[in-house]
Amino acid sequence: MAKPTHYEIVYFEDYLIPKGFLTSDMECHALFYYYICTAHTIEKFNLTKASAYEGEEDNNVNLPALFKSIANMYKVEPEKMENYWDLVDMQCFSLGEPVLWDKFKDPCKFKILKLN
């Protein structure tokens, strides 16, 4: 019999209000974790150029699946995570990190990124 998968989720206590901009809501922390993972993916695969985002679908970088998987790990609804982009953006600004382009923020508009 297979053992159930156990995930350690990250709770960003150092970034809670008043030290930071995140609330105690798990959706907020899930979204910030999605930001970190997506920012790392953008940097790793050099997706800063608009042309890197366009093209045929491929299974190389599946941001919709990442978004849903993180929501599942945090046991939150993906739609509710989207309500926290302003706070995540403010936290990024305070850390001197870039915010994500809008096309990486809207899971309804995601494409699966093709990497050459």
Q: How many domains does the chain have?
A: 1
Note whether residue 4 is domain-resident: no
Note whether residue 21 is domain-resident: no
| Number of other residues whose CB lies within 10 A of the CB of residue 53 | 17
Note whether residue 5 is domain-resident: no
Note whether residue 2 is domain-resident: no
| Residue pLDDT, tens place only, 27-38 | 999 999 999 998
Note whether residue 56 is domain-resident: yes
- Domain limits for position 104: 27-109
pLDDT value of position 7: 72
| Residue pLDDT, tens place only, 28-74 | 999 999 999 989 888 887 766 544 444 444 446 778 888 999 999 99
**Percent of the chain residues topping a pLDDT of 90:** 51
Note whether residue 33 is domain-resident: yes
Q: What is the pTM of this model?
A: 0.80
Note whether residue 34 is domain-resident: yes
